[in-house]
Amino acid sequence: TMPSIFSYQSAEVDWCEGNFERSTVIAEYYNTVNGTTLFSFLLLTPLNFLVLEGWACARTEFCSYKLSLSLAGIFSMYFHMTLSYVGQLLDELSILWTLAVAYSFWYPRVYFPRWIKSRRHFFWLSGVTTVISTLMSFIKPAFNAYALNCIAFHLLYLTWCELKKCNDKRVHRMAAVMVVWWVLAISSWISDRWLCGLWQAINFPYFHSFWHVLIAMSLLYCCPLVIYFDVNYEMPSFKPKLGYWPSDSWPVVVPYVALEEPHKQC
């Protein structure tokens, strides 16, 4: 008989970490704990937006993105705690919908297909595409994670296109840091997926838990970059500036975007 979709270890995916080794309730202890870390970082990410001055028009976008990020963190913890089929789908689909929210609100108009005439039309296109992708994800759930990771290559391509138009060294530096964190993250993910036998042989099967922390760090740098480019397109009268809180010199910082309000002409 088919196991219950809510049952422990009913998922199609099982990561390299041993199951129930440190808890009788939590299947993958370190992946779950670092899922909590991921959740914490995802809640930090909206700080990238909170320091914006005079960006009241982004209130709806901010709330939607914050909610989707929060759900992604919660569902990640639930999946690794149970390794259930439902947990796997919730984890993957929350990431898909978070990406859909980001694309819908902040994808630059200059890259719209020619037949898309407004942000509203693009919003509907993103919604329909995401619904279709959601339905297709039930066909082979084990493939979903690979498809989601491939979206990162499109984001990197867009970043490269924008950097070619930008001469601000601070922007280039932040993009470089983002890419370094992403490379470390995807390397950890692939290592856990493809070299599991090696890591188990040396009793160090924790690379997926590293992925959680590293991809969250990459997101902390990605979000202000996205907003920086969006402000340049949508609010050209303002001058966005990237910064680090509490100070550039601190070893642990939260990157953010500050807006310089335009001076009124007399």
Question: What is the tens place of the pLDDT at every residue in 83-131?
Answer: 999 999 999 999 999 999 999 999 999 999 999 989 999 999 999 999 9
Can you give the residue ranges of every domain in the chain? 29-260
The torsion region of residue 20 among left (phi > 0), alpha (psi -120 to 50) and beta comes to left
Beta bridge partners of 215: none
Q: Two tokens at 260?
A: 């310089």
In whole angstroms, give the CA distance from residue 192 to residue 179. Answer: 20
pTM: 0.90
Q: Residue 46: pLDDT above 80?
A: no
Q: Please state, in angstroms and rounded to a whole number, the distance separating the CA atoms of residues 218 and 184.
A: 9
Residue 192 has what pLDDT?
A: 97
Closest by Cα among 44, 87, 62 to 219: 44
Annotated binding site: 14-15, 17, 19, 28, 80, 208, 212
Bind-site residues for Zn(2+): 80, 208, 212
As annotated, the binding site for Ca(2+) includes 14-15, 17, 19, 28
Give the separation between CA 57 and CA 20, rounded to whole angstroms: 47
| 44: confidence class by pLDDT, cuts 50, 70, 90 | low
